[in-house]
Amino acid sequence: MARGRFITLEGGEGAGKSTQISRLAAALRDRGYAVIETREPGGSPGAELIRNLLVNGPTDRWDGVTEALLHFAARREHVQKTILPALQRGDWVVCDRFADSTLAYQGYGHGVDKDFIKSLYDGTVGGLQPDLTFILDVPVEQGLDRANTRGTGGTRYERMDKAFHTRLRDGFLDIARNNPQRCTVINASDSMDQVAEEILKQIDTRLT
Ligand code: TMP
């Protein structure tokens, strides 16, 4: 059976990823594909336990290197227990964040050495790469405003300062420039309908 496709959505806070993940998964199911929706950190029982350590508590709970290690520990579980089995069944995997988030948040945001992050990727994920990555780009203030109106009190990351969020937005744009075959930047300030339409258009031209 043909291996399924692996699609990731990335971006800063309040970029609208969760809405777009469900819309994309629904559109792909309408086309007859088997689709799983998943997320990072998390996406398997063990990885969800690690997620709790990462998103809750004071902003200075972990140093950047520890955070990177925890994200890759969660990712290894997620890849082994959820993503690879789904791809081997022939399912499409639509994932809310993946390793580009570690490079952006821990690398560009917290200043963790980017080669160290790449070596963690090689050692824990190996040869698997997303087939297509959407980077949902939104100005920092607009994103944080949107995230705040969710009224959840904010994860550890939402509570980090504006300079951190600016570094990670620039980081995501840099990642897209460095990986033009895999990544496409979407203007997430547009309406949800426009963003959903653009995502499907890119799937049609780049994947099917
Ligand atoms: P979420 O709010 O998109 O569910 O993600 C939880 C937080 O984890 C989000 O603020 C970004 C952060 N994060 C990292 O810092 N590094 C990573 O590798 C991942 C996957 C997420």
Residue 173 CB coordination number (10 Å): 16
pLDDT of residue 68: 98
What number does the ligand 1 atom closest to the CA of 18 have? 3
| Half-sphere exposure in the Cβ direction for 183 (13 Å, CA) | 21
CA distance 143 to 188: 9
Residue 163's pLDDT band (cuts 50, 70, 90): very high
pLDDT of residue 3: 75
Tokens of 124: 């824990």
What's the mean pLDDT in 165-190? Answer: 97
Does 51 sit in the ligand 1 pocket, CB within 6 Å? Answer: no
Asked if residues 10 and 100 have their Cβ atoms less than 8 Å apart, the reply is: yes
Task: Label residue 153 exposed, middle or buried (CB < 10 Å: 0-12, 13-18, 19+).
Answer: exposed
Cα–ligand 1 centroid distance for 40 (angstroms): 7
Cα–ligand 1 centroid distance for 104 (angstroms): 10
Residue 2's pLDDT band (cuts 50, 70, 90): low
**Percent of the chain at pLDDT above 70?**
98
Residue 197's pLDDT band (cuts 50, 70, 90): very high
For residue 105, is pLDDT > 90? yes
Does 105 sit in the ligand 1 pocket, CB within 6 Å? Answer: yes
Residue 153's pLDDT band (cuts 50, 70, 90): low
- In the three-class reduction of DSSP (H, G, I as helix; E, B as strand; rest coil), residue 11 is classed as strand
The model's pTM? 0.95
Asked if residues 172 and 140 have their Cβ atoms less than 8 Å apart, the reply is: no
Tokens of 172: 């995501």
> If you ran DSSP here, which 8-state letter would residue 183 be given?
E
Does 78 sit in the ligand 1 pocket, CB within 6 Å? Answer: no
Cα–ligand 1 centroid distance for 53 (angstroms): 12
Q: What is the pLDDT of residues 4-54, one digit of tens each?
A: 999 999 999 889 999 999 999 999 999 999 999 999 999 999 999 999 999
What number does the ligand 1 atom closest to the CA of 157 have? 10
Most ligand 1 atoms within 8 A of CB, residue of 62, 95, 97 to mutate: 97
Most ligand 1 atoms within 8 A of CB, residue of 37, 69, 155, 168 to mutate: 155
Does 40 sit in the ligand 1 pocket, CB within 6 Å? Answer: yes
CA distance 74 to 87: 18
Within 8 A by CB and 6+ apart from 16, the residues are 136, 138, 146, 188, 192, 195
